[in-house]
Amino acid sequence: MRNSQDIVLATGNAGKLLEMQSLLKPLGFQVHPQTEFFSEEVVEDGLSFIENALIKARFASAKTGLPAIADDSGLQVLALQGAPGIYSARYSEGYLGLPASDEQNNKKLLAEMSAFPRNRKACYYCAMVYVAHSEDPVPKIGLGQWCGEVLTAPAGTEGFGYDPLIWFAEPKCTAAEMSKELKNKLSHRAQACQALVAQFERTT
């Protein structure tokens, strides 16, 4: 029988799952990926990161009967008017006739940014939500933002997604060149998680 600290993590992304488990384990939560319980994917038809995170959390909670945490995150590029935004994971769908993947997403971003040699600011954004049950009317919401610049070529082999292309003035490297431990302290997801945890602390 699962204890009261069990939470289902609403994600099917292996990289995100590892990152989230690392962030949440020290807080005393027993984190279980949704794939332990079901394989269906909910349609993320929200118009914002917050809406999509809530959709995923409510779905996972309804399927499992457990409290759920979900996040929705992506990259916003100033010169591209906020793209790829909520479509970050599938930004390159159909690009060069291939399905979306991290590699294809990065290739498309580099191609789009070739027209902007100077204005290359980009921010990772994350909305993380907790629902006590699927119809929770007062979900907890944590937000995080992590800003850097888009490089002209990838650097680094760690992380996932756009990490090889996003360079940060501090600590003067890309997200893909950071250790997992450092990224988990600085990232948009870490910030959102900390903001979420602070709300638990205020209510206990």
pLDDT by residue (tens digit) across 102-123? Answer: 999 999 999 999 999 999 999 9
Q: Residue 22 pLDDT more than 90?
A: no
pLDDT score at 3:
47
DSSP line for 122-190: EEEEEEEEEESSTT-SS-EEEEEEEEEEE-SS---SSSSTTGGGEEETTTTEEGGGS-HHHHHHHSHHH
What's the average model confidence in pLDDT over 188-192? Answer: 92
User: What is the tens place of the pLDDT at every residue in 66-81?
Assistant: 999 999 999 999 999 9
51 touches 124 (CB < 8 A): no
Average per-residue pLDDT in the chain?
90
Domain 6-202 architecture: Alpha-Beta Complex (3.90)
Counting every residue written for the chain, the total comes to: 204
Of the chain, the percentage scoring pLDDT greater than 70 comes to 95
Domain segments of the chain: what residues?
6-202
User: What is the tens place of the pLDDT at every residue in 135-149?
Assistant: 999 999 999 999 999
20 touches 190 (CB < 8 A): no
The structure's pTM equals 0.87
157's CB contacts (< 8 A; 6+ apart) are: 164, 176
User: Would you please indicate which residues are annotated as catalytic (active-site) residues?
Assistant: 72
